[in-house]
Structure 1
């Protein structure tokens, strides 16, 4: 039996592979500290769990419409209006099994063979893989420490070709924590005026933002951007609902919504019903106190970790404005991030993700979504490893 050729386009997730290897070594009795997974170490807030239990006890366990129940869709609409001043209708929303699922659906319905999707690099490992699987071409615009890992309007203008179908933005970013300001998004929007380019705005980390900064959604910077933007979001990171699998899109582009419902209807149908009910209090802001507590702890960890990494000779780290990752520069230490990370795990029992996996050699991603004691212990091991590397 032969596996379909389309699978050859798809590379395994490096983050998942390293996380799995770390767990395997830990099961063997090794003292492993893992900073590879993008998962908050906090539990889902009680108010959300209670909403799911209530739904189960009330027998709300049947199929729903493919795009989600009205109550949850309305909660999404209210959230987007409250947080960003955006006006959506029920027919503008589709709920999927996590933002990763939303993105896969979008690429499948938008991309024809050879269509280009422009995205800043470094970027989440899933973006280019899903584009390639959909017969598209990922076009990576390189960024680095000097630009705080953000593209400029001028870079975008140069990257656009007649084949450009979409611009994929992720703010706050995985893996860098970069956050685009309102002015930067306005400048990007001006470049797109007069084109048919769709903006796919992944805003999964919008609630995890630091230094008192204000998050700006791509769709809110102008009427033109609102009309061309598909906002992708969910609850995995903000309220520690990773395992619940809840993501959604919002867009006034009815053609996209209808196509997504049609596609999802033949692949997964609805998101599990209990999760949809559990999401309502989170979307209504009833878990905001829990979010604030998590964010404050993340910020404290960030500050301690950045200071510790920048004290290591040959290592530097830009202070991330959002998410819970550091993208650590090790170019003075090595030009092979995969080999570096493999040896670090084997010799010191520390799991981090090589920068090459995100399209940027000479870095590694360090997740500080874990306890402070482990972070400090892990960085000490990394320092020891680098000194002898």
Structure 2
């Protein structure tokens, strides 16, 4: 990849993912139950090898500790342009599994990663709490020593795939009043005694819920990384995935743009197609320009991550911020161009209009991204 375009091999991969998304995954996504984990969809994504692309080497029994950020962005943008449900399912599998992959003991990696890659196990990333959202270092879930392990007591909230996941990457406080320096990470099977949860009724096609830990026992080999270093485990995963949230947004923006262009070419009003109306044409031009600018920011940040360049946090934050804000603008503009028909239940844009709002909040709200960018300027 150059600073300006994907390589021919990457373009071919993107085209193949878009084809699979349209032909194989979209029908399964549309037949699923909104607000529930779509296990048939995950199983098909596993059979097609898409989930394995998150974990290089998993098929050979020795998974790499990280996929290329650029590959992750290609996957997410391509899937999002065809099926946001498939994209989100893939992304959540990666987000929930990467703390295990990057920081877990070999026994835990062998237990969970191949099952996720095959579409047989559902993962979840359990960081947020009722009183700790963007300020993740303020989390309160307590991990108290118990023999050669810990017992977890407290609550998690706004957790994607909860309470239906098969395991959770959980972040808990092992040292009180130590901020980010007193957080540890654990992998917790969903069937562990004392762990319960419930769904939250949100505008979301996938489950989001709460988790309650009532003295949940975790073993020494379920610690991810080192004790009191769990905040770094979380940030390592989020740093990798943040540019790809922008890629998800770019995929949605592109789908909305394509729909708006097609509609403007065929819809006749005031004696000609809408595309001949200057206000519509200029709006489409602005939509296209912002979408392409977002794409360049996203892939530049991913390429920088893969190259090990400095100031990655700032670049990733720029990519997520600009792409998610752009997607909101592009989808809203596409709805405006279509008029009332775009708000009918089942219309592509009605679906995108509901989907596009959340990425401006999760994995660091837009305001948090601006703070990260400002800090990166001060340290550069």
TM-score by length of 2: 0.28
Q: Which has the higher contact order (CA 8 A, sep 6+)?
A: 1
**TM (normalized to structure 1)?**
0.27
